[in-house]
Amino acid sequence: MLDEQACRRLLHQGAPHKPYAYRSVQPGLFSDIVMLQLPPGYGSAGPGSGVQPNPYFP
């Protein structure tokens, strides 16, 4: 189930070792995300972090 705990694990950047899917979603989770009840993703560390933009997404 995609719930708050699983959503928080998805905040960290990285690539999973294998694809996965969720069978269900916690009721109200989308609303919690939209209403900023859950923190935003961490994103890159900013300039000088060594993170390069994806050339396929200008």
Integer CA distances (angstroms), 24 to 15, 17, 54, in order: 22, 21, 31
* Lookup: tokens for 7: 């959503």
Long-range contact set of residues 12-15: C-beta below 8 Å, sequence gap at least 24: 12/42, 13/41, 13/42, 13/43, 13/44
Report pLDDT digits (tens) over 7-32: 888 877 776 677 788 899 999 988 88
Query: Which domain, by its residues, includes 13?
Result: 4-34
Answer whether residue 29 is part of any domain: yes
Structure confidence at residue 34 as a pLDDT band (50, 70, 90) = confident
Closest to 26 (Cα-Cα) out of 41, 40, 7, 13: 7
Q: Residue 26's pLDDT is what?
A: 92
Domains: count for the chain: 1
pLDDT value for 14: 72
Q: In the chain, pLDDT over 70 holds for what percent of residues?
A: 66
